[in-house]
Amino acid sequence: MYTRREFAGMAFAGLALPRQAANRPTLEIGGVRIGAQSYSFRALPRRPGADLVDELIGAFTACSLGECELWSPQIEPAAPSIARGDTPELQQARQQARADLRKWRIGTPLDHFRGIRKKFAAANITVRAFNYSFNDSFSDEEIDRGFEIARALGAEWITASSTLSSARRVAPFSDKHKMIVGMHNHSNVTDPNEFATPESFAAAMKMSKYFRVNLDIGHFTGANQDAVAYLRDHHADITNLHLKDIKRNQGGNVPWGEGDTPIRDVLQLLKQNKWPIPAYIEYEYRGDGTPIEEVKKGFAYIRQALA
């Protein structure tokens, strides 16, 4: 692990690296494919009535990243602001908002999503994965549509922060579309319906031959699991990694180098074994800088870890 002082030095060193040629983002370091989960840029200002596509392209370009896992809310209509509370009026407002989103997903022409793909491609950014997190509120038509949207975006697979109960409903659609779904883990080991342990991943992969693992090594560490051992034993089942630093015992997100996540060891394992598993930055802690500045710090950390 790196100390805060060492990490600060790395960030400084990263800023001193030669700039990439125009429109030539970094795709790999030391043979390891590098990208980012677009959720990292969730705090970017959003223009009224617009999606976040142009802002995301600008952020990936500024960070010199050419591979994207695209978080679905950033290409969907902005969620309405609904006050907290449980009054009949607020419940109705939430139900209406959910129905409106479902209608938009099902009814928006696929050419709209093909247009988003073209925008990213024009900036030399590949939408490699589409993060569409199925839950129990999804209709069958909405689940099916997610696979069609992913294809239109050019994604090779879907990632999903989901549950075992939802995964059972998704399995036949994954089989129908012959498309891989990487189940994303969190750290709630007390709920048997959550993806948080090797056993929960194993249970999902029995449901469909297209189910895989989107391993978040930070959350895995927060749940007191061993990310290095899991990667070593199950690398053939992993679509991509999410990189973040979290302390053990549900200790929460911290700046990279201050937690217990074995980021360097994981990256070195990918490098040494030449496993074709992309490693994606997911900025989730509360940093001092803008999302772009914080993602750049993560990128500098990766460069040093793979040196």
pLDDT per residue as tens digits for the range 206-219: 999 999 999 999 99
Taking the model in full, what pTM does it have?
Answer: 0.91
In CATH terms, is domain 4-79+111-305 a member of 3.40.50.720?
Answer: no
Count of residues making up the chain: 307
Q: Kindly write down the DSSP assignment for every residue of 215-281, as one continuous string.
A: EEHHHHHHTT--HHHHHHHHGGGEEEEEE-EEETTTTEEE-TTSSS--HHHHHHHHHHHT----EEE
pLDDT tens-digit readout, 224-266: 999 999 999 999 999 999 999 999 999 999 999 999 999 999 9
Q: What was the pLDDT predicted at 181?
A: 98
Q: State residue 23's pLDDT score.
A: 59
pLDDT at 28: 95
Task: Return the pLDDT at 24.
Answer: 76
In Å, the largest CA–CA distance within the chain is: 58
pLDDT number for residue 290 = 97
* Relative orientation angle of helices 227-234 and 198-205, to the nearest 10 degrees: 30
- Residue 197's φ and ψ, nearest 5 degrees, are -135, 165
Positions of the chain with pLDDT under 50: 1-21
How far apart are alpha carbons 239 and 218 in whole angstroms? 16
What residue ranges do the domains of the chain occupy? 4-79+111-305
Nearest-angstrom CA–CA distance, 204 and 213: 9
